[in-house]
A = this chain, B = another copy of it.
Amino acid sequence: MKAYSVYNHMLLPGSFRGLENDYWHLRSSVQIWDVSCQRQIEISGVEADQLAQLLTVRDIRNVAVGRCVYAPVVDFDGGLINDPVVIHAGPDRWWFSLADSDLGLWAEGLARGYGMEVRVAELDVWPLAIQGPKSEDVMSLVFGEAVRSIRFFQFERLEFEGRSMIVARSGWSAQGGFEVYVDDADVGVALYDALMEAGGAFDIGPGGPNLIERIEAGLLSYGGDMTRDNNPLECGLDQYCSLSSDMEAIGLSALRAHSERPLARRIRGLTIEGPPLEPLVARWPLRGDQGPIGAVTSAAWSPRLKKNIALAMVDTGAPDLVEVETPSGSRSAEVGAPRFP
């Protein structure tokens, strides 16, 4: 491992061959990611459905057991607290697969304050992601052909060494793949080894979420591209906000109010001119003719597009050509959609 980050108080392995080599490898073969840091907050009990719905502005009342949905969690003002994948794990049982914030404290504080009959717990579950175009071939060798019929954002309980685990078709890349919700550390190690062995013919290797790949795909990172200072509409997550539904959800009325006014800013994509830039450590300011108009939140050199690509929070009404103030100087950039196919 060459680089890691800290995520939900745990280590997240980030790079193994260097950023660009990891990128090409992820696009062409298959990687195993230790994403144990995607902590699972389980909400269970007779009022679990009510609390789960209260926590997200996406209408999840018709999400069947066995399905997963990307579901923004916001505060009472509509500010993003987390953007988990929510898994309907069983009757009266929901798992929130977390981005980087202690959502369990929010959920339990609310549940206790409202006096709801639920249990909120962080599970001993350590997700393992198998990502890349060859992931289905490798997974079928380990879990059987049943994996091929799992549809996107659905899960089956499949067995490995006699242990039944949730296997979902999901993951934080656009290359396709699965996430296995490992709930036994010993089985996890054996599974890792089995996947490595089965994947030998497919050039399998370790990996992690890849900055270049996820910017190209427009996958936003909570804590980086979007924070509690942003509402999901600014982040282009409109389709995951059920503004016209009649369920009870925290922040829904605030979001409705936001939606009735013009947005002040919105996540956009930038193509920044010139040779590869240095890694972005802190946000780079953006300037238009009239002054500050936002900031770059993520940036990388795409070796495929041979361009600096970036995500940025940009004021509405900003021009199509802006200036980026990087630590190494000013660069022109073109504003467009927040994805780079």
**Interface residues, chain A, with chain B CB atoms under 8 Å away:** 5-6, 9, 75-76, 81, 100-103, 105-115, 223, 250
List chain B residues, Cβ under 8 A from A250. 112
List chain B residues, Cβ under 8 A from A113. 109-115
This chain's copy number in the assembly: 2
Contacts A/B (CB < 8 Å), 7 sampled: A75-B108, A102-B105, A102-B106, A109-B111, A109-B112, A110-B110, A110-B113
Q: How far is the CA of A109 from the CA of B106 in the complex (A)?
A: 5
Closest Cβ–Cβ distance, residue A251 to chain B (whole Å): 11
Q: Do the beta carbons of B108 and A108 come within 8 Å of each other?
A: no
Closest Cβ–Cβ distance, residue A167 to chain B (whole Å): 27
List chain B residues, Cβ under 8 A from A76. 112
Closest Cβ–Cβ distance, residue A8 to chain B (whole Å): 10
Q: Do the beta carbons of A109 and B100 come within 8 Å of each other?
A: no
List chain B residues, Cβ under 8 A from A114. 113
Closest Cβ–Cβ distance, residue A126 to chain B (whole Å): 14
Q: How far is the CA of A106 from the CA of B102 in the complex (A)?
A: 9
List chain B residues, Cβ under 8 A from A103. 105
Closest Cβ–Cβ distance, residue A30 to chain B (whole Å): 28
Q: How far is the CA of A99 from the CA of B226 in the complex (A)?
A: 23
Q: How far is the CA of A111 from the CA of B250 in the complex (A)?
A: 14
Q: How far is the CA of A141 from the CA of B112 in the complex (A)?
A: 49
Q: How far is the CA of A115 from the CA of B5 in the complex (A)?
A: 37
Q: Do the beta carbons of B105 and A81 come within 8 Å of each other?
A: yes
Determine the residue in chain B with the shortest Cβ distance to A228.
Answer: B122
Determine the residue in chain B with the shortest Cβ distance to A114.
Answer: B113
Beyond contacts A105-B109, A112-B250: 10 other A-B pairs, Cβ-Cβ < 8 A, are A5-B6, A75-B108, A101-B105, A103-B105, A105-B105, A109-B111, A109-B112, A109-B113, A110-B110, A113-B113
Q: How far is the CA of A125 from the CA of B99 in the complex (A)?
A: 24
List chain B residues, Cβ under 8 A from A107. 109
Closest Cβ–Cβ distance, residue A103 to chain B (whole Å): 7
Q: How far is the CA of A271 from the CA of B9 in the complex (A)?
A: 28
Q: How far is the CA of A6 from the CA of B114 in the complex (A)?
A: 33
Partner of A102, one of B6, B101, B111, B112: B101
Q: How far is the CA of A107 from the CA of B108 in the complex (A)?
A: 10
List chain B residues, Cβ under 8 A from A223. 9
Q: How far is the CA of A100 from the CA of B108 in the complex (A)?
A: 18
Q: How far is the CA of A103 from the CA of B102 in the complex (A)?
A: 8
List chain B residues, Cβ under 8 A from A75. 108
Q: How far is the CA of A75 from the CA of B105 in the complex (A)?
A: 9
List chain B residues, Cβ under 8 A from A110. 109-110, 112-113
